[in-house]
Amino acid sequence: MKKTDTQPKVRRGTVQKVIETPDTLAILQVPVVYYPSEPDEAYLEAKTVKFLSEARKRTKAGDVKWLKKHGAEVYVGSPA
């Protein structure tokens, strides 16, 4: 007899995160998890939170090359 898994599966997806500084705007797609108990609520995993923290630091520093390497759309403004 084969045992069937009756536990609902965790669903994965992506959401868009925007990081904005006075000079730079970075738009990133990041992975999220949807748990069966709250299927409409997107949760970030710890590694994604760490990545976003690094992305914020890089955006503040104006590191466009790093941001683009990690898949961000980057817009750099100029002073008025």
Residue range of the domain that includes 44: 16-76
In-domain check, residue 46 = yes
pTM (two decimals): 0.81
Tell me the pLDDT tens digit for each residue of 62-80: 999 999 999 999 999 876 5
In-domain check, residue 70 = yes
In-domain check, residue 6 = no
pLDDT at position 49 over 80: yes
In-domain check, residue 57 = yes
How many domains, the chain?
1
Residue 80 is predicted with a pLDDT of 57
13 phi/psi in degrees, rounded to 5: -160, -165
Residue 79 is predicted with a pLDDT of 62
Burial of 72 (0-12, 13-18, 19+ CB in 10 A): buried
pLDDT at position 24 over 60: yes
